[in-house]
Amino acid sequence: MVGIGSFGGYIPRLRLSRKAIVDANGWFNGALRAYAKAERAICSWDEDALTMAVEAARDAFADRPRDGFKALYLATTSAPFEDRQNAGILAEALRMGTALNTMDVGASQRAGTTGFIAALDAVAARGGPVLFVAAEKRRAPAASPAELLYGDGAAALILERGDGVVKFLGSRSASVDFVDHYKGKGREFDYGWEERWIRDEGYMKIVPPVIAGALQETGLKAMDIAHFCMPCTLPRVVQGIAKQLGFTEASVRTNLDGLCGDTGVAHPLIMLVHALQEAKPGERILVTSFGNGCDALIFEVTGALPAMQKARRGVVGSLKRRKEETNYSKYLAFNDLVKMERGLRSEVDKQTPLSILYRNKDMLHALIGGRCERCGTVQFPKTNICVNPNCRAHHTQVDQPFSEFTGRIMSFTADNLTYSPEPPAHYGMVQFAEGGRMMIDFADVDSGHVEVGMPMRMVFRIKEVDPARGFTKYFWKAAPLGDEKEV
Amino acid sequence: MAKGIRDKVAILGMGCSKFGERWDCEADDLIVEAYEEALKDAGIETSQIEAAWFSTAIEEQHVGKSGVPLAMALRLPYIPVTRVENYCASGSEAFRGATYAVASGACDIALALGVEKLKDTGYGGLPQRGRGALNSMFWANVSAPGSFAQLAAAYRAKHGVTREDLKKAMAHISVKSHDNGSRNSKAHLQNKITEDTVLKAPIVAEPLGLFDCCGVSDGSAAAIVTTPEIAKSLGKKDLITVKALQLAVSNGQEAQHNAWDGSYFATARAAAKRAYQEANIDKPREQLSLVEAHDCFSITELVTMEDLFISPEGGAVKDVLDGFYDADGQVPCQIDGGLKCFGHPIGASGLRMIYEIYLQMQGRAGARQRQQEPVRGLVHNLGGFPHQNVCSIAIIGKHGA
């Protein structure tokens, strides 16, 4: 048997009020007013599919060792790099070592489930564990319905031999070149077709036989499914399919529309993680997705799930960790959807010397510093000579990861002078409980609500983007620990 | 133990250009302006200078690298010219080079000259620039005000000072420097301001407002140094000599080791201790007549008064508010307006501070002359960030004092 051994989720803290979007764009397209309630999750300027993937995976790892993984698959259609393996950066940030098979899966909204099936097959064939992460941050043109319906988020699953917390029962797929939308090479945005056609010729004709096939393969009936996870923001589609196939009304799970929004490739997984945080042992879960065909996967919850449910932030915790954003202009700026006067200070050349990046990848991507084998002092960065004035031993430093450390703010500022995509730039000295400190940028802080002594955790974020060369630089930042953990 | 520099080197002449927004000048115009004053003051010819040290910090904005820009501007006759850079303490480094050269006997007369042309970036404040390829990949997105502002957060936490009380003391520092600058015709800013103006100014980096930050200026300053014997032989009386020259440089301890609490400058304390020893000073609060501190930000000046052991630790707020450091106080600090108002052309700043002490010692400071005749003055010149910096301390005084 193959099962899910652990799960994690991440939805960015910022929730853009849909009313703010409609207030700005309703004059142009009155039909948008139908969506003017509730909100959608948006990335901060320094988050993207990769940074969200890191957060979701950290949630799934919890305290579990990160070595010995056979593979890591990352599913997304919004990867920061077209030709540089994004899963490889993820593996580095997660300190999973190099002896694993990494792969990016994309090119279709179905990538979240096709990648998932491939990962399950890999575990069945060659053993696990395998980490599977789906993350999405789709850009949409201003004044489009997509802008209101999309959301940003990520989910992560650790797959392994055995029943895990949820065992995999079976799946069925169909590949159909049904083009409800596409994104051509080099294009910024999707181009889509009429919704009624997508509903009647797409969803209603392609999905039901695949679900029926999956049920048949697993020897189950529709009424045996307690949780029916199917992302779709078109009205009445999921209810229609449920009715047609005989699912109970109660089994149809919320698509989280108005909470986080449709997180694209990540959404079937986000709905699954959301279901896992509420499901009971013995319950069966159906996960489907639609995009150039359809996938349907069926799982059964084991007795091991309840112990894990409270130990993960997942989707439930992510939804609770929320800050409303009513400034639509800020969203446009964060997503480079409007030409901004960013000032002369933003014009500094941001080239990344790739040889330096490679040489320091452990430090920059995995936040690995040093620990002196002689005196035990931990420090960042790792150097040849120990920083402890009472030691100063040469060449005694071994690798010391800092990414799971928590610390407290020793000093900080909110800087209006330095260039930042979101001024004022907050940064300061963070001192770690385990020892060591760093002067570091802050993330997810609110002006006027930062204090000396505030507990912080480390998060993998965009350091800056080199617009001249299309290169995104990543490093770690300090974010409020909040209610995530106690120091 | 080395005997140190005390009374081995005399200042033969000094010069300083007008600081400010010198839109009509290139760096070499400013160099010549400072140099001609220094040369005239020294009463020598260019041919008598045997070696020169040239300080600039952000040379890519103006003259470019090397000693060549100085040699070309002054048409120096194929003598040694060394360009030095050590963050905002660069000017003091040029002075140290020239002074040590004379003290060693390697040359009789040496020149230290610093210049900076900072107003050609297209925006206010210091130029944005790289920190080194790897540093740029992980350092926090720090600006100068943002890094120094953190002194305030840590100082408040350590000494239990409210934001309002600290802001008030910081405001007093800036008001005092503007008062002093108003009596200095070479100063960049010569306007008086009120405490209210300081407290209501927009925040640059919390809690530093606009008037807590020094200006960014164009300017140049120069010193010509020699031995006391040669100075006398050239007809100089009442010599002003170097009492101490110390430099302390962060080794990463503040940035990486948890011993430092962020509320003071570890370098300043180390350099001050050594400088007092070198100058034979054991009670700085009584023995110093004047202080020129590196007041890049009001909070820097405040904590520095403690790091120089003039105010007791945690006592600078009271001393500042009592007027101890005002122009008519016991130890005037920034009697010329300081970086805050005289201005801060980086490469020139350390030399400008020495220039002020030098003028005051000779009673040549005009409207801002300290009434009680000064005997010893301290120059504190700092570069970098509180957690990673270069701190220079020079003590200048009357020969034999």
Query: Does any CB of chain B come closer than 8 Å to the CB of residue A343?
Result: yes
Does residue B252 sit at the A interface (CB-CB below 8 Å)? Answer: yes
Inter-chain CB proximity A356 and B137 less than 8 Å: yes
Determine, for residues B128 and A348 on separate chains, whether the beta-carbon distance falls below 8 Å.
yes
| Residue-level pLDDT at A486 | 37
Nearest to B199 by CA among B209, B190, B191: B209
Nearest Cα of chain A lies from the Cα of B101 at a distance, in angstroms, of 33
Give the pLDDT score at B215. 86
Asked if the C-beta of A463 comes within 8 angstroms of chain B's C-beta atoms, the answer is yes
Run of H or E residues at B53: strand B51-55
Contacts of B151 in chain A (CB under 8 A): 411
Q: B159 in contact with A at a CB cutoff of 8 Å?
A: no
Q: Is A82 exposed, middle or buried (0-12, 13-18, 19+ CB in 10 A)?
A: exposed
Residues near A160 by beta carbon (within 8 Å), at least 6 away in sequence: A2, A3, A5, A123, A128, A129, A130
Residue A425 touches chain B, beta carbons under 8 Å: yes
Give the count of alpha carbons within 13 A of A468, CB side only.
7
Chain A with chain B: Cβ pairs closer than 8 A: 132
Instruction: Tell me the mean pLDDT in the region B93-102.
Output: 98
Best B60, B142, B156, B256 residue to mutate vs chain A (most A CBs within 10 Å): B256
Class of residue A355 by CB neighbours under 10 A (exposed 0-12, middle 13-18, buried 19+): exposed
* Residue range A260-287, pLDDT digits in tens: 999 999 999 999 999 999 999 999 999 9
Please indicate if any CB of chain A lies within 8 Å of the CB of B125: yes
What is the amino acid identity at position A457? R
| CB-based contact B121 A344, cutoff 8 Å | yes
| Mutation choice for B interface testing from A415, A426, A449 by most B CBs within 10 A | A415
Out of B88, B214, B296, B341, the active site residue is: B88
- In A, minimum Cα distance to B128 occurs at A345
State how far residue A464 is from chain B, nearest Cα, in angstroms: 9
Sheet containing A39-42, strands listed edge to edge, beginning at the edge strand earlier in sequence: A39-42, A14-17, A323-325
% of chain B residues with pLDDT over 70: 100
- Stretch A206-234: mean pLDDT, rounded? 98
- Cβ-Cβ contacts under 8 Å, B262 against chain A: 410-411, 429
* Contact flag A377-B139 (C-beta cutoff 8 Å): no
Question: Considering chain A, what is the average pLDDT of its residues?
Answer: 96
Closest to A480 in 3D by CA, of A455, A446, A452:
A455
pLDDT at B4: 94
Q: Give the per-residue pLDDT at A409.
A: 97
CA B283 to CA B330: how far, in whole Å?
14
CB neighbour list of residue B93: distance below 8 Å, 6 or more residues apart: B53, B55, B84, B85, B86, B247, B350, B392
Residue to substitute from B138, B163, B214, interface A, most A β-carbons within 10 A: B138
What whole-number distance in Å separates Cα of residue A49 and Cα of residue A136?
5
Confidence at A484, pLDDT banded by 50, 70, 90:
low
Q: Does A403 touch chain B (CB under 8 A)?
A: no
- State which residue of chain B sits closest to A475, comparing Cα positions: B138
Higher pLDDT, A86 or B128: A86
- Spatial CA neighbour of B297 closest among B380, B208, B378, B382: B208
Residue B321 clears pLDDT 70, i.e. is over it:
yes
Contacts of A437 (CB under 8 A, 6+ apart): A380, A407, A410, A429, A430, A431, B255, B256, B257, B258
Q: Are A150 and A140 in contact (CB under 8 A)?
A: yes
| The pLDDT of residue B129 | 79
Closest chain B residue by Cα to residue A448:
B206
Give chain A positions within 8 Å (CB) of B143: 415, 417-418
Cβ distance A390 to B168 under 8 Å? no
Please list every residue in chain B whose beta carbon sits closer than 8 Å to the beta carbon of residue A436: 256, 258
SS3 content of chain A, % helix, strand, coil (to 5): 30, 30, 40
**How many C-beta neighbours within 10 Å does residue A435 have?**
18
Any bridge partners for residue B371, and if so which? none
- Predicted confidence (pLDDT) per residue in A408-426, tens digit: 999 999 999 999 999 999 9
pLDDT digits (tens, 9 = 90+) for A22-46: 999 999 999 999 999 999 999 999 9
List pLDDT tens digits, range A321-371.
Answer: 999 999 999 999 999 999 999 999 898 888 999 999 999 999 999 999 999
Q: Average pLDDT in the A440-469 region? A: 96
Residue A394, min C-alpha distance to chain B (Å): 15
Q: Are B272 and B309 in contact (CB under 8 A)?
A: yes
Q: Smallest CA–CA separation between A162 and chain B, in Å?
A: 42
**Residues B259-268: pLDDT tens digits?**
999 999 999 9
Contact A418 B142 (CB under 8 A): yes
pLDDT score of B1: 61
Q: Determine contact: A435 vs chain B, CB below 8 A.
A: yes
pLDDT of residue A128: 87
Q: What is the pLDDT of residue A487?
A: 35
Which tokens go with A360? 């320091």
Find the catalytic residue in B344, B380, B387, B399.
B344
Q: Tell me, yes or no, if A152 comes closer than 8 A to chain B by beta carbon.
A: no
pLDDT of residue B126: 87
Pairwise CB contact (< 8 Å): B149 & A413: yes
For the ranges A374-388, B125-139, B154-168, B202-216, the lowest mean pLDDT is seen at: B125-139
Q: Is position B344 annotated as part of the catalytic site?
A: yes
Nearest to B140 among A348, A436, A439 (CB): A439
Say if A208 is an interface residue toward chain B (CB within 8 Å). Answer: no
Of B228, B240, B188, B226, the closest CA to residue B363 belongs to B240
Q: Nearest chain B Cα to A360, which residue? A: B134
pLDDT digits (tens, 9 = 90+) for B115-150: 999 999 888 888 877 889 999 999 999 999 999 999
What is the reported pLDDT for A483?
58
Q: By the CB < 8 Å criterion, does A388 face chain B?
A: yes
Q: Which residue in the set B205, B208, B252 is minimally distant from A387, CB to CB?
A: B252
- Contacting residues of B for A416, CB less than 8 Å apart: 202-205
Mean model confidence pLDDT for chain B: 96
Kindly report the CA angle at B99 between B97 and B102, in degrees rounded to 5? 110
Q: What are phi and psi of A414, to 5 degrees?
A: -120, 110
Interval B270-282 mean pLDDT: 97
Predicted pLDDT at A485: 44
> What is the C-alpha separation between A254 and A239, in angstroms, rounded?
11
- Per DSSP, the three-state class of B16 is strand
Tell me which chain A residues have a C-beta less than 8 angstroms from the C-beta of B253.
387, 389
Residues of A in contact with B206 (CB under 8 A): 413-415, 424
Task: State the pLDDT at residue B286.
Answer: 97
**Is the pLDDT confidence value at A93 over 50?**
yes
CA nearest neighbour of B333 among B155, B186, B169: B169
Using the Cβ of A429 and the Cβ atoms of chain B, whether some distance falls under 8 Å is answered with yes
CA-CA distance, A180 to A207, in Å (whole number)? 14
CA dihedral A256, A261, A267, A273 (to 10 degrees): -40
Express as a percent the part of chain B with pLDDT over 90. 95
pLDDT of residue B3: 87
